[in-house]
Amino acid sequence: MNWLAHLRLAPDEPLVRLGNLAGDFVRGVDVSSLHPDVRRGVLQHRAIDRFVDDHSVHRRGRARFNAPWRRFAGVALDVFYDHFLARDWSRLGGGATLYAFVDRVHAELEHHRALLPPALASVHDRLRARGWLRSYGTVEGIERVLVAMSRRGRRSQPLATAVGELQRNYDAFDADFAELWPELEAFNLRSL
């Protein structure tokens, strides 16, 4: 799962939610040095990632990718899952609209900016300015996000065109997400 899913699955506690988002930005950091609630969120993020990465639905989805995207299939697939979550937010979002949820997350991140890893603080500024989380519900929005992600690493350029894989396998990825999400929610509730 990508950022929107991690934020949605986090408990309604700002620092735990921050930790869920920070999970991708604290590699190499001694997690025990983090604020206890942030640490709890990072650990939840990692448990979610392990669950999804090891799930048969995720393996099946990765196998659908053609070269050269196969190397980045896991990353792209996580973004695709966020697309389906955003698209179906009225049913899966827990009550608030997607825009209200995203606005609250941005306000929480800004309020606790001093606790953000530097890389996340930088990404957060772009995330908010470009409205990425709000745009996940459209294929065009996912394409913009993938293009932006491809610019972050020298060897991740195929991500920029991976939206073609989403379009080619849209119904299959949609069915995968519909199968995976309830199982992930149940796992998440058990692990909180």
Helix (H) or strand (E) holding 27: none
pLDDT of residue 147: 87
162-173 pLDDT, tens digit per residue, is 899 999 999 999
Please give the average per-residue pLDDT across 1-29, as a whole number.
91
> Residue 16: CB partners within 8 Å, gap ≥ 6?
10, 37, 38, 40, 41, 44
pLDDT of residue 159: 79
The yes-or-no verdict on residue 176 having pLDDT over 70 is: yes
Considering only CA atoms, which of 96, 97, 92, 105 is closest in space to residue 14?
105
The yes-or-no verdict on residue 91 having pLDDT over 60 is: yes
The yes-or-no verdict on residue 153 having pLDDT over 70 is: no
Least confident of 13-22, 30-39, 119-128, 178-187: 119-128
The confidence band for 192, taking pLDDT boundaries of 50, 70 and 90, is low
40-50 pLDDT, tens digit per residue, is 999 999 999 99
92-114 pLDDT, tens digit per residue, is 998 899 999 999 999 999 999 98
Residues 123 and 78: their CA atoms lie apart, in Å, by: 17
Least confident of 67-71, 143-147, 181-185: 67-71
